[in-house]
Amino acid sequence: MEKTSPPDNTENLAADLTVVREYLDRAQTPEHLSAKEEAQCRQQLIELMNRKNARLVAHYYTEAVIQELAEQSGGFVGDSLEMARFGHDCDADILIVAGVRFMGESAKILSPDKKVLMPTLEATCSLDIACPIETFAPYCDAHPDRTVVVYANTSAAVKARADWVVTSSIALDVVEHLMEKGEKILWAPDKHLGSYIHKTTGADMLLWDAACIVHEEFKSRGLQNMRALYPEAAILAHPESPEGVLELADVVGSTTQIIKAAQSVPNRQIIVATDNGIFHKLQQLAPDKEFIIAPTAGNDATCRSCAHCPWMAMNTLPTMLQALEEESSEILVEPQLARQAMTPLQRMLDFASEQQLMVKGKA
């Protein structure tokens, strides 16, 4: 397995995260609402969604109040691809995507005839930032002998340059399929997920050097200490976490797979190494269990809110209401680019159908 950094000034971006820090310095802190203001905002949104035939699709990592509103209003809560597929299948004219920008783009790609809005277009992803098409495309060109496989946490432009788009739950199956065909792989962007797949499959993989700023902060030493405190607890980890964390986990899987495992493992206490926004759904589905967030690097870590994505936190009721009232913060994907991005995405969907697999990943 080769592991390389992108060319030019993006070298070691996963370690430095300079671009991410500068981006977050410009981001506004979400405003806090009183209980009365929150209730009023929720009611206004429900009335406006009914009037405009809009549906809210929210990611598991958004705040609990947004997930509750999505379910209350006939919308949907799920992983990024599930969100896009629900948007495609529902009869709404407008989709409100509460998540990060690549999720809005995925929804638009699958529903080109619908208007796709986001609470804020500023909500992005460190994996997306760390894999710009301007450096990714020539990097792919420099390795023409490799099949390009990209994670769903990428821009529409990067997806369009790929041969395959995968989610975390199907990535292993796709890579095994390609390996059996004798293909060598260029993987992007998450190095931890790529390393996990390489270690599991033994495939010949060239890894792009990027990481999720939330999962990057989970630490194996802290997790070992926590296991000593909770010896009967199961450890569930997302494969975007560092290798040392995954080695300690009882279950490694996508967001949806973690949710399923939390319900099926016999342990009453469960340590979870993924974004703590998932706790809302975990507690809904397994109310008799105690969920504990895995330890991170602490207050001085690169993330601004350890174990919670700072961009997911930018989705708020007021910004959502403003976007729907004004029909602003619209996601636009150039039609030709959307068609190009749909090709590797459809390849994954067809493969999943043929293999009778469930395609549900983080994002």
| Region 220-236 average pLDDT | 94
pLDDT recorded at residue 7: 44
Tell me, what's the pLDDT at 11? 43
Question: Residue 167 domain-assigned?
Answer: yes
Examine residue 360 and state whether it is found in any structural domain, yes or no. no
What is the share, in percent, of the chain residues with pLDDT greater than 70?
87
Nearest to 165 by CA among 97, 100, 109: 109
Q: Are residues 87 and 221 in the same domain?
A: no
- Considering only residues 80 and 70, tell me which one the structure prediction assigns the higher pLDDT: 70
Verify that 111 and 43 share a domain, yes or no: yes
Q: pLDDT tens digits for 231-284?
A: 999 999 999 999 999 999 999 999 999 999 999 999 999 999 999 999 999 999
What pLDDT does residue 24 have? 58
The residue segments making up the domain with residue 42 are 31-123+311-332
Query: Does 67 reside within a domain?
Result: yes
Specify the CATH number for the domain of residue 245: 3.40.50.10800
Between 43 and 357, name the one with better pLDDT. 43
Examine residue 300 and state whether it is found in any structural domain, yes or no.
Answer: no
Same domain? For 276 and 341 the reply is no
Confidence band (pLDDT; 50, 70, 90) for 291?
very high
Q: Is residue 23 part of a domain?
A: no
The answer to whether residues 224 and 81 belong to one domain is no
Of 9-13, 60-64, 243-247, minimum mean pLDDT range: 9-13
Long-range Cβ pairs for the range 160-165 (8 Å, 24+): 160/337, 160/340, 160/341, 160/343, 160/344, 161/133, 161/136, 161/137, 162/344, 163/344, 163/347, 164/344, 164/347, 164/348, 165/341, 165/344, 165/345, 165/347, 165/348
Give DSSP secondary structure letters for 59-84: ETTS-HHHHHHHHHTT-EEE-HHHHH
Based on the fold, state whether residues 133 and 280 are members of the same structural domain. no
Over 70: is that where the pLDDT of 329 sits? yes
Question: What pLDDT is stored for residue 54 in this prediction?
Answer: 98
Same structural domain, 264 and 284: yes
pLDDT at 6 over 50: no
In a domain? residue 22: no
Same domain, 316 and 277: no
Residue 24 lies in a domain: no
Both 162 and 43 in one domain: the answer is: no
- For all residues of the chain together, what is the average pLDDT? 89
User: pTM here?
Assistant: 0.88
**Within this chain, do residues 173 and 112 fall inside the same structural domain, yes or no?**
no
| Same structural domain, 169 and 252 | no
Q: Compare 200 and 34 and report the one with higher pLDDT.
A: 200
- Of all residues in the chain, the percent with pLDDT exceeding 90 is 76
pLDDT tens digits, 168-221 = 889 999 999 999 999 999 999 999 999 999 999 999 999 999 999 889 889 899
Please check whether residue 133 lies inside any domain of the structure: yes
**In terms of Cα–Cα distance, which of 226, 256, 222 is closest to 239?**
256
Query: Is 362's pLDDT higher than 60?
Result: no
Count of domains forming the chain: 3
The pLDDT assigned to 31 comes to 67
Same structural domain, 269 and 322: no
Q: pLDDT by residue (tens digit) across 37-47?
A: 899 999 999 99
- Select the more confidently predicted residue: 286 or 357: 286
277 & 321 share domain: no
Distance CA 358, CA 14 (A): 30
Identify the weakest region by mean pLDDT among 139-143, 335-339, 359-363. 359-363
